């Protein structure tokens, strides 16, 4: 499955970019900087999360929370990967 094959949306939230990746077996939010550098991701189905840029973790958490609220997405924060 390629990025183009998946259902995805992107939004700018809190100076970071959120892209949703949804396929038959994945339902994730990927967060990146405006330059496209990965910050982290969360799995909306099982709560797994991974932060690539620890120095941006607070902004990552706020960005995910704002996106979830604005898009009315179901997400239960869970474990770190």
77 is a domain residue: no
Q: Is the pLDDT of residue 11 over 60?
A: no
pLDDT of residue 73: 75
16 is a domain residue: yes
78 is a domain residue: no
pLDDT of residue 6: 46
Q: How many domains does the chain have?
A: 1
Query: Rounded to two decimals, what is the model's pTM?
Result: 0.75
Domain that holds residue 62: 3-71
Q: Is the pLDDT of residue 10 over 70?
A: no
19 is a domain residue: yes
Q: pLDDT for 29-71, tens place per residue?
A: 999 999 999 999 999 988 899 999 999 999 999 999 888 888 7
> Greater confidence, 15 or 7?
15
Going by C-beta distance under 8 Å and a sequence separation of 6 or more, which residues neighbour residue 32?
Answer: 16, 17, 19, 38, 39
Tell me which residue has tokens 């183009």: 4
Tokens of 11: 């939004």
């Amino acid at each position: 499955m390629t990025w183009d094959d998946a259902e995805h949306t992107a939004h700018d939230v809190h100076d970071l970019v959120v892209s949703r990746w949804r396929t038959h077996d994945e339902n994730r939010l990927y967060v990146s900087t405006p330059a496209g550098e990965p910050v982290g991701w969360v799995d909306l189905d099982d709560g797994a999360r991974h932060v690539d840029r620890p120095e941006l973790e607070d902004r990552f958490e706020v960005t995910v929370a704002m996106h979830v609220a604005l898009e009315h997405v179901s997400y239960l924060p869970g474990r770190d990967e």
